[in-house]
């Protein structure tokens, strides 16, 4: 949305109610408020058309938030998002209340639902399905992290990590951890990771994958763990 132009001589914030320009300011503000309210039905109609077209194109899933929560478009949990009249109802009133003392006036609208096809949902690196509508997609919870791996970062490595297999974030093996040396300076934590495959210098917050331990077949099995406790 472009920047609103002000009528000549009018500032966005209210002048003193006793000043000469106050009446003109208040009239302009009220005109903008009315203009905004008058535009709401057309916005609702346009958004409803957009949603119908998306549904016709097979975009029947709604994906919300950073967690990529996936809903079926008819899910009751997102009714207030899909029903544009209901969405605008609460929103327009709040906008008016929030901007009443500014001539920039209310603007914008309630966020539109993000509609996707099944293929688009499946292409997301991660998502989790809503428990209310439990959509029919391949995962209940799809994680960026491959099965059998856990996200980690070298800054937290300690003696427990010795002997563990680690991988770069893209899954490239880095060998088993032999020694970890941390250096802390003004720019943060740097880690020197020595493994059976080589030596890696990295930022302490670099994203790595650690291979999950498989349940040990025998409780008496002792892992061969090279270690040097003084490295920590
Ligand atoms: Zn749902």
- List the single range of 104-113, 130-139, 152-161, 195-204 with lowest mean pLDDT: 104-113
Q: Residues near 88 by Cβ (< 8 Å), separated by ≥ 6? A: 40, 43, 44, 109, 110
**Quick one: how far is CA 156 from the chain centroid?**
25
Model confidence pLDDT, tens digit, residues 186-210: 778 899 999 999 999 998 888 888 9
For residue 139, how far is its CA from the centre of ligand 1 (angstroms)? 15
**Closest to 82 (Cα-Cα) out of 111, 56, 108, 106:** 111
Mean pLDDT of the chain: 84
What is the domain partition of the chain in residue ranges? Answer: 22-142, 149-214+224-231
For residue 70, how far is its CA from the centre of ligand 1 (angstroms)? 7
Average pLDDT over residues 76-82: 94
For residue 60, how far is its CA from the centre of ligand 1 (angstroms)? 12
Q: Could you tell me the pTM of the whole model?
A: 0.57
- Order across the sheet with 69-72: list the strands: 115-116, 61-64, 69-72, 127-129, 141-142
For residue 232, how far is its CA from the centre of ligand 1 (angstroms)? 47
Fold of 149-214+224-231: SH3 type barrels. (2.30.30)
Report every protein residue that has its C-beta within 5 angstroms of ion ligand 1. Answer: 71, 75, 77, 130, 132-133
**Closest to 128 (Cα-Cα) out of 72, 67, 74, 65:** 67
For residue 88, how far is its CA from the centre of ligand 1 (angstroms)? 21
For residue 71, how far is its CA from the centre of ligand 1 (angstroms)? 4
Model confidence pLDDT, tens digit, residues 38-73: 999 999 999 999 999 999 999 999 999 878 999 999
Whether the pLDDT of residue 228 is over 60: the answer is no
**Count of CB atoms within 10 A of residue 200's CB?**
17
For residue 62, how far is its CA from the centre of ligand 1 (angstroms)? 8
Element (H, E) at 123: none
Average pLDDT over residues 85-111: 82
pLDDT band at 32 (very low <50, low <70, confident <90, very high): confident
- Do residues 144 and 125 touch, judged by C-beta distance below 8 A? yes
**Closest to 68 (Cα-Cα) out of 134, 119, 143:** 143
Task: List the structure tokens of 219.
Answer: 């409780």
Q: What is the pLDDT of residue 12?
A: 67
Q: Residues near 172 by Cβ (< 8 Å), separated by ≥ 6? A: none
Tell me whether residue 20 is exposed, middle or buried, using C-beta atoms within 10 angstroms of its C-beta: 0 to 12, 13 to 18, 19 or more.
Answer: exposed
For residue 49, how far is its CA from the centre of ligand 1 (angstroms)? 22
């Amino acid at each position: 949305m472009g920047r609103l132009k002000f009528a000549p001589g009018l500032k966005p914030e209210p002048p003193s109610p006793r000043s000469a320009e106050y009446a003109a300011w208040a009239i302009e503000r009220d005109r903008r408020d009315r203009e905004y309210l008058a535009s709401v039905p057309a916005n609702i109609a346009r958004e409803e058309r957009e949603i119908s077209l998306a549904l016709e194109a097979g975009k029947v899933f709604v994906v919300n938030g950073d967690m990529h929560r996936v809903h079926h478009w008819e899910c009751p949990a997102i009714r207030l998002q899909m029903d544009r009249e209901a969405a605008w109802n609460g929103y327009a009133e709040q906008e008016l209340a929030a901007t009443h003392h500014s001539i920039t006036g209310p603007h914008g609208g309630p966020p539109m639902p993000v509609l996707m096809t099944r293929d688009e949902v499946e292409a997301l690196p991660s998502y989790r399905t809503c428990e209310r509508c439990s959509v029919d997609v391949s995962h209940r919870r799809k994680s960026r992290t491959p099965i059998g791996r856990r996200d980690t970062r070298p800054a937290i490595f300690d003696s427990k990590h010795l002997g563990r297999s680690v991988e770069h974030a893209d899954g490239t093996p880095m060998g088993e951890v032999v020694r970890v040396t941390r250096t802390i300076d003004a720019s943060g934590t740097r880690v020197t990771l020595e493994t059976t495959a080589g030596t890696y210098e990295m930022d302490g917050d670099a994203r790595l994958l650690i291979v999950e331990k498989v349940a040990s077949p025998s409780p008496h099995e002792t892992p061969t763990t090279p270690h040097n406790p003084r490295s920590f």
